[in-house]
Amino acid sequence: MLIDTSDLPDAFKIGTSRSQASIKLKPLLERVRQYAQELNALSESDVTYISERIDEIDEVFDRTHSVPKLREMYDSLLEIVGDLDINTQQEWLTQQKRLQSEESLQMGRFADDIEQFQSIEAAEGPELVSVMHDFEKSLEESPEWEIYEAIKDMVDAAREAQVPETDEELKSAVKDSDEFQKLMKTDKNATDAIGGD
């Protein structure tokens, strides 16, 4: 059923009684239409997007994290991998400063949000719309998302770090050292003095 609100006169109003009818019908029907369109537009990809965002930080997120505990973990991790990825190092340092200032961090509320979003697959219709709005609000208002994403980036950088072939480097460094050269010269002199090969 299509309701054309453009022809609706302003005289149509809603209220608890005829004398208190102050809400115009046109804006109300517009909101109902927008809500119906939003419900109709929901798809599996909306749920998948939220699930993927949760999965990204789930590996490093723990409900028991407090700000001091998270700061200690973050600082230790940054000390280990700080120079591995210069491109994202500035973002890591920004999040470290945010942790140090404890800027609007509400770990308990964030943990509750994560718990709510983890059960999104069971939500349907109006409940799903509500969870999606809560998710977007949480992304905008909770700096914990960016902190945990930075932690996840650092963990991934540590996993992907290329460890040099230390055996070959060590052999090369030993052969090039002055001590080794002196030892080889002494060995050659001793071999020559004895008359061996």
Q: Which residues of the chain have pLDDT under 70?
A: 1-12, 39-43, 82-87, 103, 161-171, 173-175, 177, 179-197
Q: Give the pLDDT score at 77.
A: 85
Closest CA to 153 of 63, 82, 102: 82
Contact by Cβ (8 Å): 133, 93 = no
User: How many Cβ atoms are within 10 Å of 108's Cβ, its own excluded?
Assistant: 9
What is the pTM (predicted TM-score) of this model?
A: 0.63
| Region for residue 163 given its phi and psi (left: phi exceeds 0; alpha: psi -120 to 50; beta: otherwise) | beta
Contact by Cβ (8 Å): 150, 91 = yes
Q: Give pLDDT tens digits for 103-140.
A: 678 899 999 999 988 887 777 777 888 888 899 999 99
